[in-house]
Structure 1
């Protein structure tokens, strides 16, 4: 495989908006270069989970609009109940995510950081890690953990060394579009200093850019790479 060949990318989001917060600009770059990008949404809000019909309709509309804005090759909704993944058997999560990895022959996985404050993120990371075993999922060549504003920086586990990026992707040309797409998730945003705000998102992109010599960047922990 050559670097210029189209690749199949799987962006694993515990909740809708995590993909945009963590790697929205990178997703846009992948799509622009002709890669096949699939969006996995692990959790869902449903009336059976105690959410109102209005909230369910609103979230479904947001997901549809975001999918169109990115131009995803596929959207895979696993429909586990939100905010309760720590109660779901790990085998169920691995099985559901693993089926998508195999169906898409995903080569690059973007996953949440293991020590984010939200327990859903930890559960999704663990499931994704199980789906990166080469002898079971040979298509997977790269695994990259993204940071999620409002979760990564609020993890306070004493044994956590912190998010230590070793991969930076230039998103100077994609940042405005990323912020525009994030605006679709109106219910998840708030005014600065709320962490999920346009000001905070732009500031983080500029900080990561300053660390990598570009105007704006997204940062990742490269956990696995086979070349």
Structure 2
């Protein structure tokens, strides 16, 4: 793991950060790193979502924040599942504002070709906002994989998620799974992809690729040393 003082984990929706890099977040915090969490979307006021879930989700976010020990949570409050209806400038501006405020040297983003359109929009906006001449303090950008989104991205022109960086999370997997369970209704019974069996299986597979018991995998998009 590269030495870093401050990192920003960008999640299109609450739970993406846990699915993609929950163990890494716990590892960073154990190393004394300042970790910020950016939640891009909200279900509040968005058609198709039960509005009585909004206060419940807010309590879940607070519980997850405490469990990780995030130094701060940031919100863009943009409509979930509707990011592709917004102007590019609005999304870039909202994410860029947080990046400029936090000034992280490391940024984690969702994989560009996930099946969920919100993930693609967040990726594009985060990369644009992190351009070196805009955010010279950003020294590294890593893309994470998200079970039920990355693995269902079946575009024929996409070479697929091909990790070139692995974090050993052998000592953090159980707590990652415990935190994921705080999101009520997001986990399901196997073979549902967001199940404990699937999360453990992916961590075991990535661990085998990295010669450890459990790992999370990333694609290095930029790294300045």
Number of the residue aligned with 2:15: 17
Matched-pair contact (CA < 8 Å) for 1:49–1:81: no
TM-score by length of 2: 0.97
Give matches, 1:1-227, under 5 Å: 7-47=5-45, 49=47, 51-227=49-225
How far 1:4 sits from its partner (Å)?
8.1
Q: Is the 8 A contact 1:9 1:38 kept in 2?
A: yes
- Residues 15 and 82, structure 1, Cα contact 8 Å, conserved in 2: yes
SS in 2 for 1:152: coil
- Residue 5 of structure 1: CA displacement? 5.8
Q: How far has the Cα of 1:224 moved from its partner?
A: 0.2
More displaced 10-residue stretch of structure 1: 39-48 or 216-225: 39-48
Contact 2:43/2:51, CA 8 A, preserved across alignment: no
Distance 1:19 1:90 in 2: 23
Q: Distance in 1 between matches of 2:3 and 2:221?
A: 22
3-state secondary structure, aligned to 2:185: helix
Point out where structure 2 has 5 or more consecutive residues left out of the alignment.
none
Larger mean CA deviation between 99-108 and 202-211 belongs to 99-108
CA contact (8 A) 1:21 1:182 kept: yes
Alignment RMSD (CA, Å): 1.3
Secondary structure of the structure 1 residue equivalent to 2:104: coil
Structure whose residues are more often helix by fraction: 1
Quote how far apart the aligned CAs of 1:197 are.
0.5
User: Which consecutive segments of 4 or more residues in structure 1 shift more than 6 A?
Assistant: none
Aligned length: 225
- CA drift at 1:6: 5.1
Identify the range of structure 1 (127-136 vs 46-55) with the bigger mean alpha-carbon deviation.
46-55
Does the aligned pair in 2 maintain the 1:209–1:216 contact within 8 Å? Answer: yes
| Shift, 1:108, TM fit | 0.4
Q: Distance in 2 between matches of 1:4 and 1:212?
A: 16
Distance in 2 (alpha carbons) for counterparts of 1:48 and 1:151: 21
* Aligned-pair CA distance for 1:51: 3.4
TM-score by length of 1: 0.96
